[in-house]
Structure 1
Amino acid sequence: MATKVCVTGGSGYIGSWLVRKLLVKGYTVHATLRNLAEDRSKVDLLNSLPNADTNLVLFQADIYNAHEFDDAIQGCEFYKDRVEATVAGVRIIADCCIKSQTVKRLIYTATVLASSPLNEDGSGYKSCMDESCWTPSDHLPLTYANDYVLEYTKAKTLAEKELLIYNEMEDAKLEVVTLLSGLVAGETIQSHLPLSVQVILSPFTGNMFGYYQGLKFMEEVLGSVPLVDIDDVCEAHIFCMENPSMKGRYLCAAADPTVREIKAYLEENHPEFKIDEKEEAEIRGIKCDSSKLKEMGFEYKYDIRKIIDESLECGKRLGAL
């Protein structure tokens, strides 16, 4: 019998790519959406994936109706969560996993924004970013911040900390892995350009909807812009799932350029596009040490060139460039 995996947010950027990879690998996938009746285009996308007719089961589940997750999780060995950015939300999910008595590992798609190497007083950066770094809880004076990104960063940081507590509970019988994913870019199977890809393309497209400001905010908080390709981040989720035993924090980023280095690459290799030039303070560039995941045996297939070039092709294909 095929191993069952539950994926929340199954129609999202990471979720849909991961569901496809799992189906191709022969897993049975339980994917959740907030509203099956209203999300017909999302349902149709997932049902069109390889082996979906035999190995995919869709469930309606909303965190405000926690019991809806019980059926989706029941019988699954692994649970992949990316939707929750609240302490209460991740508690509900973790408790559902424990109650199922079948889920042995919860893999949470965390964000590198929760692992800032900034000093607590905001006076500068540590020498590098690794899994020991936690973003300061106080709202530091950041040039590119706004209330939304500050609250999101704080919420994701607190939610990740809450989940990791379950690794210390002897009676929980649940392993929790948090994958601190860099800015995810590359291709998509969605019909629109994902927000994170729009952020990486913002040196071309400008600050429409605040995307370029988001790129600079990430650099300001982290000292660089950690990047990871959509295919690599999904492979990392599967790697964490297939390991015999695994728990704790893992940074997931293949490259760590500054915004200036991203612009330099674009200008040199894609002169057909005009860079939106701005006078900005230079960031020194803090390295993102993702060696912990690599030491476990994981290998990245996409470097900065492939990530950016694939994102550009995706943007052109979907009419964003």
Structure 2
Amino acid sequence: MEKNVKVCVTGGAGYLASFLIKQLLERGYIVHATLRSLGDASKVGLLKSLAHAETRLKLFEADIYSPDDFESAIKGCEIVVHMATPFQHSANANSQYKDTVEAAVGGVKVIMESCLRSNTVKRVIYTGSVVAASPLKDDGSGYKDSMDETCWTPLNLSYDFFHGYVPSKTLAEKEILSYNGKGLQVVSLACGVVGGDTIQSKMPETMAFLISQATNDEFMYKALRFLEDLLGKVPIAHVEDITEAHIFSMENEHVSGRFLCAGAFLKTAEIASLSRKLQQDISIPTEFIEDTKRETRWDSRKLEDLGFHYKCDAEKIINDSILCAKMLGNII
């Protein structure tokens, strides 16, 4: 289908971004993708190898620590999908930002102003994270009964893992939503832990968290348990559903505001149980199975109420992730 609609995707070589770009090119979109460095042969090669890349993909060099760089990529586009985000602070002598929080929030401000100046951008889709949607009570004394779009992670508490990432994603999401209705339509998709498949040559970190019990990866399992303690349980999603949610948000004008995006909401003990059920050769040590007995409820249906349908249930998400890990050599 020849859509001839120009879409800018920031952070183009990332796990979700590369998968999305592949789908957009196949559906006839023209894509402007940004990379931190056009000198990175592996990332440039990945994107240029995609079908229709020769005629429908243009690459731009842009770094979130120098957000003015994004303006040329945004120029002429109707839709911007903002996926680039700093996970660890990049110490740069020329940087105007002192940490990941300043970089994430500052980057959003500059990019949104570039969208407004463009006079062509109509919609901005922000790839958020469920780490910004914790149902923890503000005093840290326990959890709300359910997790939905009204939940925002309390920033007065300290977090052992992702201590910079949690506030950066929370504050950046709030910042980008503040532009909604002010000359732009903004959709924020707070995505769960994503797995299922990849077009990259190595296993993405989010998938490594998800199946850390199956791979017996102690560090990644601790990260998964942190997410469980932050969110009550672990929201998980298949990369195909996350990609479709982005495209659904791009193509439907009635979609606006904040949406949690996950196909299932499980305890880590349930993830372990499903892993062993689906792949009986998987062995999980007892120290990787801890049942919190927590019964926080997933109460987000906003995206589905607007017509979106998740195609992948928990079994498919976990099974496809383990099969992908085997293919990549992470499980032998």
Q: Distance in 2 between matches of 1:259 and 1:50?
A: 37
Q: Distance in 1 between matches of 2:138 and 2:293?
A: 18
SS of equivalent residue, structure 2 residue 174:
helix
Residue aligned with 1:256, SS: strand
Question: What's the counterpart of residue 94 of structure 2?
Answer: none
Name the amino acid aligned to 2:282: F
Q: Does 1:16 align with 2:21?
A: no
1:123 has 2:141 as partner: yes
Deviation at 1:68, TM superposition (A): 1.9
2:87 paired with 1:78? no
In structure 2, give the amino acid aligned to 1:200.
L
**What is the alpha-carbon distance in structure 2 between the residues aligned to residue 56 and residue 244 of structure 1?**
24
Contact 1:78 1:104 in 2 (8 A): yes
Tell me if structure 1 keeps the 8 A contact 2:279–2:319: no
Q: CA deviation at 1:80?
A: 0.4
The superposition leaves residues 212-254 of structure 1 with CA deviations (integer Å, 9 ceiling, x where unpaired) of 0110011001111101100110110000000124321001001
Pick aligned residue for 2:34 from 16, 20, 32: 32
1:160 matches 2:173: yes
Candidates 155, 171, 192, aligned match of 1:137: 155
Give 1:63 shift.
Answer: 2.3
Indicate yes or no: 2:105 matched with 1:87: yes
Root mean square deviation, CA, Å = 1.4
Distance (Å, rounded) in 1 between the aligned partners of 2:254 and 2:72: 25
1:152 deviates by 1.0
- Separation in 2 of the partners of 1:65 and 1:219? 34
For residues 184-235 of structure 1, give each alpha carbon's deviation from its aligned partner in whole angstroms, at most 9, with x where no partner exists: 1011000011001111111122344x21011001100111110110011011
Which of 276, 289, 294 aligns to 1:267? It is 276
Shift of the alpha carbon at 1:277? Answer: 1.5
Take 1:283 and 1:7, find their aligned partners in 2: how far apart are those partners?
Answer: 40
Alignment-derived partner of residue 97 in structure 1: 115
For residue 19 of structure 1, what is the amino acid of its counterpart?
Answer: I
CA distance in 1, matches of 2:52, 2:214: 38
Query: Which consecutive unaligned segments of at least 5 residues does structure 2 have?
Result: 87-103
Equivalence map 1:204-283=2 (5 Å): 204-208=214-218, 210-278=219-287, 280=290, 282-283=292-293
What SS class does the counterpart of residue 264 from structure 2 fall into? coil
Report the alpha carbon displacement of residue 77 of structure 1 after superposing the two structures with TM: 0.5
The one-letter code of the counterpart of 2:135 is: P
* Structure-2 change in CA distance of 1:283 and 1:160 (3 Å): farther
Could you tell which deviates more after superposition, 63-72 or 117-126?
63-72
Give the distance between the partners of 1:8 and 1:155, measured in 2 at CA: 17
Does the 8 Å contact 2:237/2:262 carry over to 1? Answer: yes
Contact 1:257–1:285 (CA<8 Å) still a contact in 2? no
Tell me how far apart the structure 1 counterparts of residues 186 and 180 of structure 2 sit (CA, whole Å): 6
Q: TM-score, normalised by structure 1?
A: 0.93
Report Cα offsets for 1:158-193 as digits up to 9, x if no partner: 11111111125xxx3111111000001011000011
User: Residue 226 of structure 1 contacts residue 257 of structure 1 at CA under 8 Å; is this kept in 2?
Assistant: yes
Corresponding residue for residue 47 of structure 2: 46
Inter-partner Cα distance in structure 2 for 1:245 and 1:79: 17
Shift of 1:105: 1.0
| Contact 2:278 2:319 (C-alpha < 8 Å) held by counterparts | no
Aligned partners of 1:66 and 1:307: how far apart in 2?
34
1:291 alignment partner in structure 2: 301
CA distance in 2, matches of 1:267, 1:66: 45
Q: Does 1:180 align with 2:190?
A: yes
1:192 partner letter = K
Structure 1 letter corresponding to 2:112: A
Gaps of 5+ in 1: none
In the TM superposition, residue 44 of structure 1 has moved relative to its aligned partner by 1.1
CA distance in 2: counterparts of 1:59 and 1:149, whole angstroms:
29
